[in-house]
Amino acid sequence: MRTSSSQDKAGIDPIPAALAALREAVDALGFIDADSPEAARYLHDWTGDYAGGALAVLRPSSVAEVQEIVRLCARHRVPLIPRGGNSGLVSGSIMTGEPRAVLVSLERLNRIRSVDAGNFTLAADAGAVLQTVKEAAEAADMLFPLALGAQGSCQIGGNVSTNAGGINVLRYGMMRDLVLGIEAVLPDGTLFDGMHGLRKDNRGYDLKQLLIGAEGTLGIVTGVEVRLFPRPANVETAYLGLGSFADAMALFGMARRVCSDLLTAFEVIGAECIPLALLVDPDTRVPLDGAWPVHVIMELSCSGAVDMRSLVETLFAEAHEAGALGDGALAQSRAQAKAFWAIRENLVEGQARRGRHVRTDLSVRLSKVAEAVERSRAYIGSAWPGWEPLAYGHAGDGNIHFNVMPPKNMADDAIRQNGVVMLDGLYDIVHDLGGSFSAEHGVGRSRRSVYWEWLSADERVIVRAIKSALDPNGIMNPGVLIPE
């Protein structure tokens, strides 16, 4: 039986009427009852850390169906949770507690709409999987540079809504820098058509920018137009061994200058992460002589005939002389480059296999990266005996994932409770260094309290004003970003 809070003034529960109308609004494949076995896969996140409920799962097959769903939800005041590929790491599309929202999955809106080679743009439905978008760009001999571990499942609409980052931000920017157009259904069902594909367009407020990174709180993105780039014909990938994070950041500064600003990726991996990659692939071989405390995967790329190998060799010589570089290997083939990258990808999967742990997504100014890692390690070492810190990430963007594995056999509840206290300590360090607790994963529900705490009173007023201007009834993904 439903609580009285869901009953209208006449004491009638509006939910059954809303669900009946929603069932009518979509085709036969578009409505999944919440208690059917098919719904189960929508009700937990990728990590398994978050599980929730929904009144129903809706899978619209057209933009018109999305509009009708939103109109009906607005009329009946039923909250909606937009759902992309479910790879988000901050509980943005999982709502715990009594089910009171419908989940709207974009998975059936998955067409590549067009590739405009002359304009270097691609337009797709929001539910197109990132990997499919990348392949469509490649088929037209171009590059869509967004690259992240979840690219086989995350959707381009989810990437827009979280303002995704990944390994190529260094050269091409975050998703915000890659989006030229957005189509979205706003919280009253209105269609916002901003699929202009223009690089320059100063006609007043740029509404699409509000939707980027909004995590489904201001509307449902249904279409996206992105920038494409010439496909790099020339790629050099290096795997390096260094003495410390400070050396890695010194090398990064040198690499940007010496390599004609052709760096596309600069990933740093603390050596303590390597056993996690081995969990996924026991044949993993680190291409270094000796045991180095910090590893770097560095990639340069360009579309023309630049002699990048000699740039890298010059860098190696200078870095050796400066004492910043220990050992290094340059990939001699694409297969070897792929093997280097597999170490980085597998260590993320390896953490998931180890089970629940404490995750962060910190960013600081480049000059503070080494200090952030050292202070975080010292904090865990002194305050959390038996816990194992892991540091890796997109160091060229100042973004470190400083994660902490619990002592073996600790119960999930204890990990969760300790994690809350531990995160406070880690966030204090990053706050003290003038950084951010969320470099690329967003806020969702799991980082909402720290987000709200760090905002000034004036900023909170502005955030609430934006939300209520577009979503006065608060039906779009309630509980994400803003406390209810």
Ligand X SMILES: Cc1cc2nc3c(=O)[nH]c(=O)nc-3n(C[C@H](O)[C@H](O)[C@H](O)COP(=O)(O)OP(=O)(O)OC[C@H]3O[C@@H](n4cnc5c(N)ncnc54)[C@H](O)[C@@H]3O)c2cc1C
36 CB-side CA count, 13 A: 8
CB of 295 to ligand X, least distance (A): 17
Cβ-based nearer residue to ligand X, 175 or 325: 175
Q: b or e along 390-425 (b: 16 or more beta carbons within 10 Å of the residue's beta carbon)?
A: bbbbbbbbbbbbbbbbbeeebeeeebeebbeebbee
Q: What is the spatial distance between Cα 94 and Cα 57, in angstroms, rounded to a whole number?
A: 12
CB of 153 to ligand X, least distance (A): 6
The reply to whether 49 sits near ligand X by the rule CB under 6 A is: no
Opening angle at CA 239, ends 237 and 243, nearest 5: 145
The reply to whether 405 sits near ligand X by the rule CB under 6 A is: no
Q: What is the spatial distance between Cα 338 and Cα 239, in angstroms, rounded to a whole number?
A: 11
Closest CA to 167 of 481, 396, 473, 441: 396
Q: Which uninterrupted H or E stretch holds 404?
A: strand 399-405
Q: 317: which residues sit within 8 A by CB, 6+ positions away? A: none
Q: Which residue is nearest to ligand X (CB)?
A: 158
CB of 59 to ligand X, least distance (A): 13
Q: Which stretch binds ligand X (CB under 6 A): 236-244, 275-283, 416-424, 438-446?
A: 438-446
Q: Which one of 26, 54, 262, 348 is in contact with ligand X (CB under 6 A)?
A: 348
Q: Which one of 67, 87, 301, 351 is in contact with ligand X (CB under 6 A)?
A: 87
The reply to whether 173 sits near ligand X by the rule CB under 6 A is: no
Q: What is the spatial distance between Cα 178 and Cα 329, in angstroms, rounded to a whole number?
A: 32
Q: Which stretch binds ligand X (CB under 6 A): 151-159, 186-194, 320-328, 463-471?
A: 151-159
Q: Is 145 within 8 Å of 175 (Cβ atoms)?
A: no
The reply to whether 346 sits near ligand X by the rule CB under 6 A is: no
51 forms beta bridges with 44
Cβ-based nearer residue to ligand X, 345 or 371: 345
The reply to whether 161 sits near ligand X by the rule CB under 6 A is: yes
Q: Which stretch binds ligand X (CB under 6 A): 56-64, 216-224, 225-233, 264-272?
A: 216-224
The reply to whether 164 sits near ligand X by the rule CB under 6 A is: yes
- Chain positions contacting ligand X, by CB under 6 A: 46, 81-89, 92-93, 106, 126, 148-150, 154-155, 157-159, 161-162, 164-166, 215-216, 220-221, 348, 440-441, 444, 477, 480
